[in-house]
Structure 1
Amino acid sequence: MEWNLLLKRLKVERQAEIKRGSMAKPLYRLQRFLRRAQLFLLFLGVAYIMAGSVLLLQRASLVVTQRGATSPPLPSLPSIPSPPRALELGMPPVRVGGYRDRSSRIMARGQGYQPGSPLDNRTGTRWLMSRNLEIRHLRRRWFHSLMTEKDMSQVERSTPRRNVPHKGSYIGCFLDNSKERALRGSVFTDFRKMTSTMCQDTCSARLNCTESVYLECSHSGYQFAGLEYGSECYCGNHITSLRVRDKECNLDCKGEKGSLCGGVGRLSVFTVEDMLPGQRRYRNVRYRGCFREPENSSSTSLVHVLQLNLTSQSCIEACMNKEFPLAMLRSPDCFCGYATPDFTLHEPAEEEHCSQSNTTEASLPSTLQRFYQVYQTPVQDSRCTEKNFLPEKSSSLVALSSFPGAGNTWVRHLIELATGYYTGSYYFDGTLYNRGFKGEKDYWKSGRTICVKTHESGRREIEMYDSVILLIRSPYRSLMAEFNRKCAGHLGYASDQHWKTKEWPEFVSSYASWWASHVLDWLRFGQRVLVVHFEELQTALVPRLRSIASFLNTTVTEDRLLCAESNQDGHFKRSGARQPTFDPFTPDMRGLIDGLIRVVDQALRDRNHTGLPLEYLPR
């Protein structure tokens, strides 16, 4: 009996042990997993820190190298992609004198570029694959050289700039908002280096073109300079808002810590050195031409200015003081105003009408007294300067695609003026962001920008977009513009020595084919394509901007389009028209480029687009 009780007790204890073991097993497994996860996370953290340290050391070594380097007699040329190796392409290596062979191969491809036919045969497909491989290598080298140039430019810009003494004085802190600006003359932005001295010098026109690549050559003769958000500079001759407490202007300047540059909706206003009217120089004044007075003159809202001894100079100064972008002279009267739908400045008259209209003879018929001599003043047309991100995220991704040097940045500037929305970028260019392209820092797939800049042309990259504005510029001008940028930056020019070096022929042999391949790939793989020619934008800006806005499914007013036309140059135009003193294109180069032009022109026509402008085509 006792033996049976002992067996039962042992059996119960055994079952209890088994139960405890089954409960402890999952806890043991969980403990082992957590220990392994901790080790894994620790390993990832160490790897991340080591990778970051390596990058910092590499950048530090680049800075030390650049600071320690001595400048050679001739400015060094940034790395230019060398022609692809024969093994990569499966074709003979390209020599400087071998342009005609390559041109014939490209033309053969162009002759087969018919939808659904010879392009897909074995020879055409093999050629296209090899060319795409070459272009991908070239794009990677181009992007690497672009990032290298940014690092170099940051090192160069780290050198302290000489402060220009000024006689301006601080007035106070004033209200400011996007609808009613306190200063309405002109505006520019620098998110990295803005200082009160820079703003005052720009508004008073003491800063010339050689002192900064961020600013226009001259915003001449304003009386007041105001700073807001630490990075925005406004110029004007009248303060139109109320003064507030000085402590409400509490943001430091981006380029000068400890110096106040306004606040949120608050403007720190300074006076600038006053100059007598006869001492002012207006380098940004542009004569627009002779124009007939509109039939409904009241709709143009012109402001009549009465002056004794009226001259064009005094009329311009009077309209600048009243902060108007247009000065119109019809002796003995001076008028100030804006371009409007009734006064577009698109149909100039013969100059003799204005010369007769401005005579002092009273016997002239009344019809000859209705012509204006119109001048564009340095005052910025403020009707289109306000820009924002899209109010709602767009589900459609639109590319603004072009070959480097085709004017992509300029077209972005025009689109932002016309639509009022920021444009984005597949890349990040800190220089452009500092100039006011706020969309440059936004993720390119965010849907908050109206279109996205890209130079990519691979099939995978193209098919990521729902539609594209394909910007095309003459390959001759594009190649020269990109070579200028590589040698001397966004606003500089390559010297004659640069054009005579071996880098220029190598540059043409590599980049000319990219120009054609970029267009052909977007035509083939793009889902919805609007072709825009750079030269047509220059000659017919408003109609082309209207078609771009329609393609973007955005409504724009006529006043905003005219404002964009008035402010079209922005900060992106090279000063003057400097060109090499000799023709840099050899006959072999022209043979290659002319063949590419024929290929692209035929491809455009095959896809029911307008062909290339006549000035592109070989003669």
Structure 2
Amino acid sequence: MVRARMTSTADGLTWSEFEEAGLIPDEPAKGIPLSYRISMYREKVRFFLKSSLSQIRCKWFITALMLCIIAGAGLLSTLPLIRMRLISPQEEGPIGPELDPKMRPCRKILNFSPTPLPKIALASFTGSGNTYLRGAIEQITGIWTGSAVPDFQLYHGGFYGEVTADSKVIVVKTHGYGKKATKANYKKVILLVRKPEDAILAKWNQYKTRTHTGIAQGDSYDTEEWRSFVPKSIEEWKEMNEYWLSQNPVTVHVVQFEELLTNKKEELLKVIDFLGFKDQLDENMLNCVVEKYEGLFRRRKFKMDFEPYTPEMKEQIENARDLVQQAVEEWKFSKFDSVEWNGEDDAAAAP
């Protein structure tokens, strides 16, 4: 009976058709010729490959479609930013809507620089007050600041130089260090240093709320995510600051965030001098910024009724802070020493 049924393959039926009809036994009978067995298994392998190939093609198509949708959405969101990059010098001027006077209390109109400027980094660990200092520099000089990595929240909030990182902006915001910073080829850097315990909290708030002004919920600190976040952030804070402090001291200017808030005028004067704009400084504009500027995207003050850091975390923070502070002191000494040597060389060269 089995032999009679198997001879039906000569009629052109496929293996799958035989299988669906229930004509193929689970275990081939010993009496079935070898040629028929080979034909059966070959047909089965062919059916399996054909089915698998169809599934792979379907998956490829779905993946390609999803990538196209993502790319299209990204392109649409950046169209106004692309226009900014292509804008001609004749058209440069105030960009975007006029801002609330509280955001720009001293200067409403900002421009890109009409002449090329050296590429200067405004480097800091996330949450160290970079946005605050950028706004002050823009108000005093009237020139947009840029960013190594565009932040669309900042762009839509009034930092219309956010998508520019070339010689048209006065400084370029960056949170990077190491190979990325080396590749960017900055000529000078303003390093903004904030106490790690405050900077890490600010970064956590930004990370959890996905905004520059939001505040994370209290119960988020009693999680494994927070306990993992802190040691990584401490190490990043230390490495980032140590990297920039290891550069040529003449090309580095350090701003302590706490000093900036306490002695705003003195610290801003040092920054403007380092940028090479002291001769173009408008004293009235500087005084206005000192008195009225409160910062853009400034997180409101809040008090925590609990201690977010464990004793072990506090010890790690203290060790990192001491190492960076030591590097800052070495930078001060090295910079003073370099300036002193340059002065002696100039005196020796004088007739």
**Do they fold alike, i.e. is TM over 0.5?**
yes
Q: Unpaired runs of 5+ in structure 2?
A: 1-61, 82-93, 335-351
Q: Would you say 1:476 and 2:197 are equivalent positions?
A: yes
Whose helix proportion is higher, 1 or 2?
A: 2
Q: Is the 8 A contact 1:468 1:526 kept in 2?
A: no
Q: 2:270 aligns with which of 544, 547, 560?
A: 547
Q: Does 1:466 align with 2:187?
A: yes
Structure 1 residues 460 and 472, CA, compared in 2 at 3 Å: closer, same or farther?
Answer: same
Q: Which residue of 2 aligns with 1:511?
A: 233
Report the CA distance between 1:381 and its aligned residue.
4.0
Confirm or deny that 1:529 pairs with 2:249: no
Corresponding residue SS for 1:608: helix
Deviation sequence 1:246-293 (CA, Å, 0-9, x none): xxxxxxxxxxxxxxxxxxxxxxxxxxxxxxxxxxxxxxxxxxxxxxxx
Closer, same or farther in 2 for the Cα pair 1:605/1:233, shift >3 Å?
A: closer
**Structure with a larger share of its residues in strand:** 1
Distance 1:560 1:506, change over 3 A: same
TM-score normalized by the length of structure 2: 0.65
Q: How does 1:165-184 map to 2 (within 5 A)?
A: none
In 1, Cα distance between equivalents of 2:173 and 2:167: 13
Tell me: CA distance 1:234–1:424, structure 2 relative to 1, closer, same or farther (3 Å): closer
Alignment of 1:203-602 (within 5 A): 231-232=97-98, 381-382=105-106, 384-394=107-117, 396-442=118-164, 444=165, 446-459=166-179, 461-462=181-182, 464-488=185-209, 489-526=211-248, 528-554=251-277, 555-575=280-300, 577-602=301-326
Relative contact order, CA 8 A, sep 6+: which one is greater?
Answer: 2
* Contact 2:122–2:130 (CA under 8 A) maintained in structure 1: yes
Tell me how far 1:234 sits from its aligned partner: 6.4
Secondary structure at 2:297 match in 1: coil
Aligned to 1:374: none
Q: Displacement, 1:580?
A: 2.6
* Number of the residue aligned with 1:274: none
Distance in 2 between residues matched to 1:422 and 1:230, nearest whole Å: 13
**Which AA in structure 2 matches 1:55?**
L
Contact 1:398 1:451 in 2 (8 A): yes
4+ runs deviating over 6 angstroms: none
Q: Is the contact between residue 98 and residue 108 of structure 2 (CA under 8 Å) also seen in structure 1?
A: no
Asked if 1:55 is matched to 2:67, the reply is yes
Gap change, CA 1:566 and 1:52, over 3 Å in 2: farther
Structure 1 residue 525: Cα displacement:
3.1
Structure 1 CA distance, aligned partners of 2:316 and 2:176? 22
Shift of 1:606: 2.0
SS in 2 for 1:581: coil
- Take 1:572 and 1:500, find their aligned partners in 2: how far apart are those partners? 27
* Distance in 1, Cα, partners of 2:317 & 2:208: 22
The answer on whether the counterparts of 2:135 and 2:296 sit within 8 Å (CA) in structure 1 is: no
Q: Decide whether aligned partners of structure 1 residues 507 and 386 sit closer, same or farther in structure 2, where only a CA change above 3 A counts.
A: same
How many correspondences in the alignment?
253
CA shift in 2, pair 1:584/1:460, >3 Å = closer
Structure 1 residue 387 displacement after superposition: 1.4
Return the alpha-carbon distance in structure 2 between the equivalents of residues 536 and 574 of structure 1. 19
Q: Secondary structure in 2 aligned to 1:485?
A: helix
The one-letter code of the counterpart of 1:601 is Q
Q: Distance in 2 between matches of 1:379 and 1:591?
A: 38
Distance change >3 Å, CA 476–CA 233, structure 1 → 2: closer
- What percent identity do the matched residue pairs reach? 32
Cα distance in 1 for residues equivalent to 2:308 and 2:142: 40
**Which amino acid in 2 is paired with 1:549?**
I
Structure-1-length-normalised TM-score: 0.38
Distance 1:517 1:543, change over 3 A: same
Note closer, same or farther for the CA distance 1:609–1:389 as it changes in structure 2 (3 Å cut).
farther
Which whole-Å CA distance do the structure 2 matches of 1:525 and 1:450 have between them?
20
Provide closer, same or farther for how the CA distance between residues 537 and 51 of structure 1 changes in structure 2, counting only shifts above 3 A: farther
**1:4-24 deviation line (CA, Å, top 9, x unaligned):** xxxxxxxxxxxxxxxxxxxxx
Equivalent residue letter for 2:182: I
C-alpha contact 2:213 2:297 (8 A) present in aligned 1: yes
Cα deviations by residue, 1:470-491 (Å, 9 ceiling, x for unpaired): 0000000000000011112211
